[in-house]
Amino acid sequence: MHIVLVEPEIPGNTGNIARLCAATRAELHLVKPLGFSVDDKSLKRAGLDYWHLLRIHYHDSIGEVIEQYPGKTFYFNTTKAHKHYAQVGFSPDDFLVFGKETAGLPETLLAEHRDYCIRIPMINDARSLNLSNAVAVVIYEALRQNGFPDCR
């Protein structure tokens, strides 16, 4: 699996997601600009001592990520989607794309990939989940569907 964070802003969230990726063998893709330095102490602290287990890639745009992986399936996580994450069948090499904490993914990107937009169900009064929590919810469903490869 691949986790793509488009312009993440909070180092602690990205560190938590890095640790999650390391623990599940998911590759992490960070799309610039980042809202922090990769040397940030809170980023490193949140990732603990898992950094050596992580496969991390840096990209200048989400378009660059999509171009580098032709033929792969990308799922775009947004509160605006009609279907939720458990209504799709994930493959082991899918890309799960998440937007920045304050704004989510760009509307133009969502419009271009409307059939691949998914959401996490929640009550109407809730705006969104914490980014690292949302990533955990979706990747563990994807891993469950695929028999938790490489996990004990």
Q: Which residues are annotated as a binding site for S-adenosyl-L-methionine?
A: 99, 120, 128
10 Å Cβ neighbour count for 13? 25
Segment holding 136, helix H or strand E: helix 131-145
> What are the strands of the beta sheet with 2-6, ordered from one edge?
56-59, 27-31, 2-6, 95-98, 74-77, 117-119, 83-84
Beta bridge partners of 84: 119
- Buried b vs exposed e over 57-85: b needs ≥16 C-beta within 10 Å? eebeebeebbeeeeeeebbbbbeebeeeb
**In whole angstroms, how large is the CA radius of gyration of the chain?**
14
| Paired tokens of 25 | 């063998």
- Please state the residue numbers annotated as binding site: 99, 120, 128
